[in-house]
């Protein structure tokens, strides 16, 4: 399984990651809730293990944001908050299971296995194609077409477009683009985002005589079809 581990205790995170990897899983560790949400919006995981108390975005808010973004993977809360109300809050937020610290690693593995079996029984096919109007992006073949015509995009341009297609009509900030496409979690003094957006616009819009990527002043960018007269 490909597992997202969101835990800000470095020693515990390394311990869990080592054990899960030895059990044959692929693990991506994150120590910040906001960073975890950004990753979830771009990458697909089979399961997530999330702590309640996290910097950037707390565990409850992270899970609620994931569910609001239609991220339906099984989620296990792994936390020291073990009261009845804590468990109820966690499950109501959208988690599928709740395990308190300290814990036995064998129990963690058993719970993850149970969540995986449950998810497999009700799973739907993976989404390999994203589309918006006449624009289509195939994730497995790494191809993009518009009006049936192939567009040749560089890797970063493809990643940018993928993010837009996952959130059509929504504002994508410069910070989101830096995190998703370049894995940069600070504000660099560079115009790399603007440069790549400009190149993508040339390929996506110029041959078709319209505009799809719109600048939202002071906020970021938005992928949106607009009728004539719309600003």
How confident is the model at residue 127, as a pLDDT?
55
Give the residue-averaged pLDDT of 76-84. Answer: 91
**CA neighbours within 13 Å on the CB side: how many for 84?**
0
CA torsion 217-223-227-229 (nearest 10°) is 10
How confident is the model at residue 227, as a pLDDT?
60
How confident is the model at residue 228, as a pLDDT?
54
The better pLDDT of the pair 218, 227 is held by 218
Above 70 in pLDDT, residue 145?
A: yes
Quick one: fold of 2-122?
Rossmann fold (3.40.50)
Is 141 strand, coil or helix? coil
Is residue 37 within 8 A of residue 64, CB to CB? The reply is no
Q: pLDDT category, 139, cuts 50, 70, 90?
A: confident
Give the residue-averaged pLDDT of 87-112. Answer: 92
How confident is the model at residue 14, as a pLDDT?
95
Above 60 in pLDDT, residue 87?
A: yes
C-alpha to C-alpha distance for 214 and 197, rounded to whole angstroms: 10
**CA neighbours within 13 Å on the CB side: how many for 167?**
19
Give the residue-averaged pLDDT of 62-90. Answer: 90
How confident is the model at residue 72, as a pLDDT?
83
What is the per-residue pLDDT across 18-68, written as a single tens digit (0 to 9) for each? 999 999 999 999 999 999 998 988 888 999 999 999 999 999 999 999 988
Q: Which residue has the tokens 């970021």?
A: 220
pTM of this prediction exceeds 0.75: no
How confident is the model at residue 117, as a pLDDT?
80
In angstroms, what is the C-alpha Rg of the chain?
20
Domain range 129-223, CATH architecture: Orthogonal Bundle (1.10)
Above 70 in pLDDT, residue 85?
A: yes
Is residue 176 within 8 A of residue 38, CB to CB? The reply is yes
Q: Can you give the residue ranges of every domain in the chain?
A: 2-122, 129-223
165 alpha-carbon distance from chain centroid: 13
How deeply is 159 buried, as exposed, middle or buried, from its count of CB atoms within 10 A (0-12, 13-18, 19+)?
middle
Among candidate residues 153, 72, 57, 158, the one with its CA nearest the CA of residue 115: 72
Phi then psi for residue 122, to 5 deg, are: -120, 15
Q: Give percent of the chain above pLDDT 70.
A: 93
How confident is the model at residue 179, as a pLDDT?
82
Q: pLDDT category, 230, cuts 50, 70, 90?
A: low
C-alpha to C-alpha distance for 91 and 97, rounded to whole angstroms: 7
How confident is the model at residue 120, as a pLDDT?
66
User: Where are the strands (E) in the chain, listed by range?
Assistant: 2-6, 26-30, 47-50, 75-79, 97-100, 129-132, 135-138, 143-146, 149-151, 171-173, 213-216, 220-223
**Least trusted range by pLDDT, from 81-85, 131-135, 183-187:** 183-187
């Amino acid at each position: 399984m490909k597992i997202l581990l969101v835990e800000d205790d470095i020693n515990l995170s390394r311990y869990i990651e080592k054990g899960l990897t030895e059990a044959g899983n692929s693990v991506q560790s994150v120590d910040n809730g906001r960073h975890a949400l950004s990753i979830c919006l771009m990458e697909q995981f089979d399961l997530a293990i999330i702590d309640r108390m996290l910097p950037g975005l707390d565990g409850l808010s992270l899970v609620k944001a994931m569910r609001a973004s239609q991220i339906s993977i099984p989620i296990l809360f792994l936390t020291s908050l073990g009261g009845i109300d804590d468990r109820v809050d966690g499950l109501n937020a959208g988690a599928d299971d709740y395990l308190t610290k300290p814990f036995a690693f064998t129990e963690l593995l058993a719970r993850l296995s149970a969540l995986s079996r449950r998810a497999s029984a009700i799973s739907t096919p993976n989404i390999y194609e994203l589309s918006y109007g006449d624009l289509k992006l195939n994730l497995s073949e790494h191809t993009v077409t518009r009006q049936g015509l192939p567009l040749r995009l560089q890797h970063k341009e493809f990643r940018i477009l993928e993010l837009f297609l996952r959130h059509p009509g929504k504002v994508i900030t410069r910070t989101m683009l830096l995190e998703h496409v370049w894995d940069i979690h600070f504000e660099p003094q560079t115009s790399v985002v603007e440069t790549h957006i400009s190149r993508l616009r040339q390929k996506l819009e110029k041959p078709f005589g319209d505009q799809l990527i719109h600048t939202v002043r002071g906020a970021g960018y938005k992928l949106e079809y607009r009728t004539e007269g719309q600003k």
